[in-house]
Amino acid sequence: MDHFPDKQFYLPHHKKLALKNAEDLKKELNEINIKIKQKINSINQQADDKQYLIPLLNFETQVNAIERIISYFHNKIEKYDNEIIQIKDYFRDMDIDDVDYFLDQIQIYQEDINKCNRTIEKIKGKEQELNQIFPELSKIIEIFIKNIEQYELQITEKWISIKSKVFNNPEQKNIHDQLLDNIEIISEIYFDKKEFYNVIKESLNKVKFKQKGGQTTDQRIEEAFNVDDFNSYISLVRNEKLLTLEAASEEICLFEFLERNEYFNTNMDREIFKNFYKSHSIQKFCKVISKTRFQGKEIDSLSMGERGTLFLRLKLATAAFSIPFIFDQPEDDLDNDFIQNNLVPLFRKLKQYRQIIVVTHDANIVVNSNAEQVIIANNNNEVLSYISGGLEELYIRQKICDIL
């Protein structure tokens, strides 16, 4: 084919079709012109005054243009025909007998090449669209990071404000500090790795990640995405090269991965794209949480008694001197040592500033806290009755001694 570098190796069917259409148009214009001219003449013959005559239509400009393009198509087709004759003569000189079949095959290949070129142009267009979309997506991610960092900061600042609360009364300040002693609350960005992969794997074609070499499908997906924490997730959605695929010789970015349709279930490439960038999807696996430590230990590491102590301290510290406090059976959640050595002295101090109501089976709490008002419940044959009074009342002290 090097002998004909600038030749088309198939007949210009589209040119012949255009030629036929141009010739048909010329014929139709001539026919229309004749019909309209006849009708105008017929009407004008009935007009007595020349000022009412209808002027005849003139298609000369259009007809001349059509004739020029017909001539152009004739010349192009004649040129193509001459080139085909030259090509056929060339192949015959090479002892190729079935030249027409050979040219038909060339035509097929040429059409395939044209299809490929059109596909390439479409891909370039898509790449251009993605290049335009990515800066906008980057803005979304940066806003998300900023919001999550601000929320993290708000939690920290709120805890600092609670700890540094100002009191005019030194004793109240001392009680407040005592309640929050050995308690620390920190904010943390929590990334749920398991939920992240649960969200995305429904969109993936698992055949591309089937079990292999002792690895499960889930393990191979995790190995491909390389997302283990919040920072690696941000690297992924920032389109940094992070993914590793068997079919790729090096790490690729998210957008390059999204172009590989074979890795997705039908029409699910868009869905996984949304899961990476839509806020409601992100919140399924990424959020800001507060973590509480008491005496240097996480809540999960605390005993039931320590958890009860932590809850009570936080509950009292947030409104230690303002609203009434009701505590139901502290002995169920707190050990006796803490009750007598910490809780009871605290109640004795706090009752000066707020009303404290304690429901308990432990009369020691009542006595040692120096309760102002004692209500004792009695159950006789499923009939409830109550008596009340202060610790200075003899019958109250007697009832307390009976309970003790």
DSSP code of residue 37: H
The average pLDDT across 6-34 equals 76
Q: What is the pLDDT of residue 242?
A: 92
Chain-centre distance of CA 235, in angstroms? 15
Tell me the C-alpha distance between 270 and 281, whole Å: 13
| pLDDT for the residue numbered 12 | 55
The pair of three-digit structure tokens given for residue 231, joined into one six-digit string: 């920072």
Mean pLDDT of all residues in the chain?
84
Q: Please give the Cα distance from 375 to 389 (Å, whole number).
A: 7
Report whether pLDDT(219) > 90: yes
Predicted local distance difference test score (pLDDT) of residue 97 = 63
Least confident of 56-65, 80-89, 215-224: 80-89
Asked if the model's pLDDT at residue 41 lies above 70, the reply is yes
The C-alpha atoms of residue 254 and residue 276 are separated, in whole angstroms, by 10
Question: Six-digit token pair at 148?
Answer: 């999550």
Rounded Cα distance between 108 and 117, Å, is 14
pLDDT at 6: 46
Give the pLDDT band of residue 266 (cuts 50, 70, 90).
confident
The pLDDT, as a whole number, for residue 5 is: 46
For residue 28, pLDDT beyond 60: yes
Contact between 70 and 19 under an 8 Å Cβ cutoff? The reply is yes
The count of other CB atoms within 10 Å of the CB of residue 245 is 18
- Helix extents (H) in 45-98: 60-93
Please tell me the predicted confidence (pLDDT) of residue 4: 47
State how far the Cα of 305 lies from the Cα of 294, in Å rounded to an integer.
12
Helices 60-93 & 99-163, crossing angle to 10 degrees? 110
H/E stretch holding 128 reads helix 99-163
**Mean pLDDT across the stretch 252-270?**
82
Extract the tokens encoding 340: 């007598």
Q: Higher-confidence residue: 81 or 28?
A: 28
DSSP class per residue in 287-344: EEEEEEEETTEEGGGS-HHHHHHHHHHHHHHHTTTTS-EEEE-GGGTS-HHHIIIIIH
278-333 tens-digit pLDDT: 878 888 899 999 999 998 899 889 888 788 888 888 888 887 677 888 888 888 87
Tell me how far the alpha carbon of residue 229 is from its chain's centroid.
16
Q: What is the pLDDT of residue 359?
A: 92
For the cut 70, the answer to whether the pLDDT of residue 10 exceeds it is no
pLDDT single digits (tens) 97-153 = 666 676 677 778 878 888 898 888 888 887 777 677 777 777 888 888 898 889 999
Q: For the purposes of burial, counting CB atoms within 10 Å of the CB of 31, is it exposed (0-12), middle (13-18) or buried (19 or more)?
A: exposed
- Per-residue pLDDT at 65 exceeds 60: yes
Task: Report pLDDT for 239.
Answer: 87
Question: Residue 341: is its pLDDT beyond 80?
Answer: yes
Q: Buried b vs exposed e over 337-369: b needs ≥16 C-beta within 10 Å?
A: ebbeebbbebbeebeeeeebebebebbbbbbbb
CA separation for the pair 45, 51 (Å, rounded): 13
> Is 337 a residue whose pLDDT tops 90?
no
pLDDT at 248 > cutoff 80: no
Q: What is the pLDDT of residue 269?
A: 67
pTM over 0.75: no
Q: In this structure, are residues 307 and 254 in contact, taking their beta carbons and an 8 Å threshold? A: no
Question: Quick check: 375 pLDDT over 90?
Answer: yes
Q: How many CB atoms lie within 10 A of CB 285?
A: 21
d(CA 184, CA 160): 10
How large is the average pLDDT for residues 201-221?
Answer: 89
**Rounded mean pLDDT, 160-174:** 88
Lowest mean pLDDT among 15-24, 131-140, 330-339: 131-140
Where b means 16+ CB within 10 Å and e means fewer, 262-277 reads: ebbeeebbeebbebbe
pLDDT at 47: 81
Q: What is the pLDDT of residue 224?
A: 92
Instruction: Return the minimum-mean-pLDDT range out of 155-169, 214-228, 325-339.
Output: 325-339
Main-chain phi, psi angles of 260, to 5 degrees: -95, 85
Whether residue 184 contacts residue 203, with contact meaning beta carbons closer than 8 Å, is answered with no
Token representation of residue 282? 């992100």
Q: What is the pLDDT of residue 2?
A: 47
Q: What's the pLDDT score for residue 98?
A: 67
Rounded to whole angstroms, the Cα distance separating 162 from 299 reads: 20
